[in-house]
Amino acid sequence: MSKFSQEHITPFPTIDKCASIGREKHTVVADLDGTLLRGRSSFPYFALIAFEVGGIPRLLFLLLASPLAGLLYYFISESVGIRVLVFATFAGMKLSDIESVSRAILPKFYSSDIHPESWRVFSSCGQRCVLTANPRIMVEAFLKEYLGVDMVVGTEIGSYKGRATGLICKPGILVGKNKADALVKVFGENTPDVGLGDRHTDFPFMSLCKEAYVVPPKLDVDAVGRGKMPKPIVFHDGRLVQKPTPLMALLIIVWTPIGFFIACLRIAAGALLPMPWVYYAFWALGVRVYVHGSPPPPPCKSLGNSGVLFICSHRTLLDPIFLSTALGRPIAAVTYSVSRLSEFLSPIKTVRLSRDRAQDASMIKKLLEEGDLVICPEGTTCREPFLLRFSALFAELTDEIVPVAMMNRMSMFHGTTARGWKGMDPFYFFMNPSPAYEVTFLNKLPKELSCSSGKTSHEVANYIQRLIAGCLSFECTSFTRKDKYRALAGNDGTVEEKKPKNTAPKQVMGC
């Protein structure tokens, strides 16, 4: 009998027959791929780690090894096939890098693939355990933090001096009998109430549970919606926009050198051409710029006139450049920290904030006397439909405030990073086949809602945050730059600039 036919002959009822009411005191044990997740293949998640840690060479190595893994899976055993994927992905990687990707990148992709029927049963139980053939190091952070899993039992990979060997520790890959033995070791005589699996290699552990249900393979089932998850994904990192299936991984490998060349052309056009021409050059090079609303006219140069302060939502470090493109004239921007390469390539004037409130206020006032200025008061970028807390300093400095809702679209690469080198951010954005920016100019802040009319700076900042969020259909949050970097990079985003000896280091915040 073929493996395919074995997987479709099951002694257990299907998951839709399982009641989810009154299970608050029950214990559930579930498999991951094909059970809690709709997808049965773990290749995309291995590919994410391969690309984010090892780049294109490691992704290519994994892609070349995957046909061998597939043949071994179908003709020898699931365990042997997974061993090949594990070795191709992890061999030589730092454990700290694997953990970082697992915490900052994989949850976004895992959370978009939760099986609704499995989640209905799994979430109804008070105690939750996951038994998986995947390496525990790559799944534990997501399962515990975002799905409320109490215990994760997975395959353990070998390590030497802080690096993964790519080999598997005893008792081996957690499939079949190994998974059943692990369940007995964890629970002893306390038999779990519910067991969930999707294939014949899950049947041994499922048979040890009081109730067991099979999740049949269905390609057309919709994933659990964002609002039904216990914890939303607000922050995530990584360069890839889409889950790298084998075909997508091949496209990424082939497109990257082509995309880099195109990105250099696009960046050169933005940096070298006069700003009124950049809009048309971008469209000719496949970069879409959509402008909505009525942008204000250029400021008058008469004595005593203050420039307009544009307050933008922050999607990438290119926000001020696309704002200038929409206006047809260069607008100076204040930044928290950008790479020297990005500063060199920027077609507009950029001025770094010092994070000293008095010093920054004086500098911003001086810049406004010279002309218009753009600030992103969130202090860092956010990819999801959320706005971070707005710093209120800008509201104290001028009443000439124009909110601007910035939105972008990318199909292959993200143009931001918290863990990688920020100098590559503009290149990755422009490496997308047809990236797009939408710039929406909102109405100028009414005089009666400004600080000069008695409003506090926090009231003004919160009002503008809500205004931009409403335009974009985003959600306002109180998260800050420090919250983002603690979640993604394990630090608060503060970098020490090198200073001559005997002087205190200056604190510069990561963008």
**Nearest-angstrom CA–CA distance, 424 and 417:** 9
pLDDT at 90: 97
Please name the amino acid found at residue 245. T
Burial of 453 (C-beta count, 10 Å sphere; 0-12/13-18/19+): exposed
Last residue of a domain, one of 219, 249, 281: 219
**Nearest-angstrom CA–CA distance, 391 and 481:** 10
Yes or no: say if 57 and 65 are a contact pair by the CB < 8 Å rule.
no
Residue 240: inside a domain: no
Residue-wise pLDDT for 361-392, tens only, equals: 889 999 998 889 999 999 899 999 999 999 99
Contacts of 477 (CB under 8 A, 6+ apart): 234, 386, 387, 388, 389
pLDDT at 301: 60
Last residue of a domain, one of 175, 203, 219: 219
**For all residues of the chain together, what is the average pLDDT?**
89
Alpha-helical runs (H) found in 353-456: 357-370, 425-430
Residue 225: inside a domain: no
pLDDT at 452: 86
Nearest to 235 by CA among 96, 337, 355, 386: 386
Residue 235: inside a domain: no
Yes or no: say if 221 and 410 are a contact pair by the CB < 8 Å rule.
no
* Same-domain pairing of 304 and 427: yes
Residue 254: inside a domain: no
As a whole number, mean pLDDT of residues 22-28 equals: 92
* Same-domain pairing of 106 and 29: yes
Domain count, the chain: 2
pLDDT at 413: 97
* Same-domain pairing of 66 and 198: yes
What SS3 state is found at 194? Answer: strand
Does the structure show a pLDDT above 50 at 8? yes
What phi, psi does 378 have (nearest 5°)? -65, -25
- Tell the residue number behind the tokens 């190994």, with chain if given: 178
* Same-domain pairing of 189 and 108: yes
Residue-wise pLDDT for 231-247, tens only, equals: 889 999 999 999 999 99
Residue 315: inside a domain: yes
**Nearest-angstrom CA–CA distance, 147 and 123:** 8
Q: Strand 507-509 vs strand 494-496: parallel, antiparallel, or unpaired? A: antiparallel
As a whole number, mean pLDDT of residues 309-335 equals: 94
Residue-wise pLDDT for 229-288, tens only, equals: 888 899 999 999 999 999 999 999 999 999 999 999 999 999 999 999 999 999 999 999
CATH number, domain of 426, equals 3.40.1130
* Same-domain pairing of 362 and 502: yes
**Nearest-angstrom CA–CA distance, 392 and 254:** 45
Residue 402: inside a domain: yes
Residue 79: inside a domain: yes
Residue-wise pLDDT for 388-410, tens only, equals: 999 999 998 899 999 999 999 99
Residue 196: inside a domain: yes
Yes or no: say if 432 and 410 are a contact pair by the CB < 8 Å rule.
yes
* Same-domain pairing of 343 and 450: yes
Residue 189 sits in which domain range? 10-219
CATH number, domain of 14, equals 3.40.50.1000
Q: What is the pTM of this model?
A: 0.90
